Amino acid sequence: MLKYNFSQVADQKNPLIQVDEAISFGPDFFERAKELIISVEKANVTGQIFYDEPFVFAQMHVVADITVPSSRSLNSVPLKLDFKFLEAYTKETPSQEDLEAIDTIIELEDDLIDLQTAVEDHLLLHIPLQNLTKEELEQDLMPKGDDWEVVSESKFLEQQKQEQVTKINPAFEKLKGLFPASEDSATDDENN
């Protein structure tokens, strides 16, 4: 597990702790991610942990092969994630200057730095919103049923344009009755 003590990292003679571990995910993670992840085939984290007073920094690189549900059909979609993140851990309340300079600062309540949870959180954050099977991508397949279908945004906009062209504005339709068309008035307009 990726758990480290803040005080041990701060007291290390070696300024860098190298991390290179295969990650396993427990049932708690899969319960939390049940709508986002079907399975994790393999995941590995590499990086460094170092102390720079008053922070312990964790600079991590995660590579994972996961299976997620398709955002259209819920069929399985294999996905390779490859991302990096940096987090700072401290026992003190960070200054306003630190909060502006460092993206992620985690104030520890005890001495434990839980990088397993950090990796899990970032893994969930890096899952794209749209995941499609190979067939859905190649054939532009959309779900449909009785009297309904999902259409792409471009197809929807195209349908809207066609409807505007063929649709007659009802207000103008009513005006047609106010001015009866006659051949005499048409020829008068042409002569003027």
Instruction: Look at residue 22 in the predicted model and tell me its pLDDT.
Output: 95
Predicted confidence (pLDDT) per residue in 109-125, tens digit: 888 999 999 999 999 99
**Do 59 and 103 reside in the same domain of the chain?**
yes
Contact status, residue 112 vs residue 6, Cβ threshold 8 Å: yes
Instruction: Look at residue 94 in the predicted model and tell me its pLDDT.
Output: 85
**Do 87 and 150 reside in the same domain of the chain?**
no
Instruction: Look at residue 146 in the predicted model and tell me its pLDDT.
Output: 85
The percent of residues in the chain predicted with pLDDT above 90, rounded, is 43
**Do 98 and 148 reside in the same domain of the chain?**
no
**Do 74 and 168 reside in the same domain of the chain?**
no
Instruction: Look at residue 186 in the predicted model and tell me its pLDDT.
Output: 53
**Do 135 and 153 reside in the same domain of the chain?**
no
Based on the structure, what is the number of domains in the chain? 2
Cβ-based neighbours of 79, under 8 Å, separated by 6 or more = 65, 66, 67, 68, 127, 128, 131
- Examine the pLDDT at 103 and tell me if it is beyond 80: yes
- Mean pLDDT is lowest, of 11-15, 28-32, 110-114, 135-139, for 11-15
Q: Write down which residue in 139, 161, 178 finishes a domain.
A: 139
**Do 92 and 176 reside in the same domain of the chain?**
no
Instruction: Look at residue 1 in the predicted model and tell me its pLDDT.
Output: 66
SS3 of residue 90 by DSSP: strand
**Do 77 and 170 reside in the same domain of the chain?**
no
**Do 66 and 149 reside in the same domain of the chain?**
no
**Do 98 and 174 reside in the same domain of the chain?**
no
- For residues 183 and 143, which has the higher predicted lDDT (pLDDT)? 143
List the beta strands (DSSP E) in the chain: 3-5, 16-22, 39-52, 55-69, 76-90, 105-107, 112-114, 144-145, 148-149
- Examine the pLDDT at 192 and tell me if it is beyond 60: no
- Percent helix, strand, coil in the chain, to 5, is 35, 35, 35
**Do 38 and 13 reside in the same domain of the chain?**
yes
pLDDT band, residue 191 (cuts 50/70/90): low
Determine the structural domain holding residue 149 and report its residue range. 144-191
pTM: predicted TM-score of the whole model, two decimal places: 0.72
**Do 101 and 14 reside in the same domain of the chain?**
yes
Q: Write down which residue in 123, 139, 155 finishes a domain.
A: 139
Instruction: Look at residue 139 in the predicted model and tell me its pLDDT.
Output: 82
Instruction: Look at residue 144 in the predicted model and tell me its pLDDT.
Output: 78
End-to-end CA distance of the chain: 92
Segment 173-185 shows an average pLDDT of 63
What whole-number distance in Å separates Cα of residue 63 and Cα of residue 20? 11
**Do 122 and 166 reside in the same domain of the chain?**
no
Kindly report the average pLDDT of the chain as a whole number.
Answer: 86
Predicted confidence (pLDDT) per residue in 41-99, tens digit: 999 999 999 998 889 999 999 999 999 999 888 999 999 999 999 999 998 888 888 88
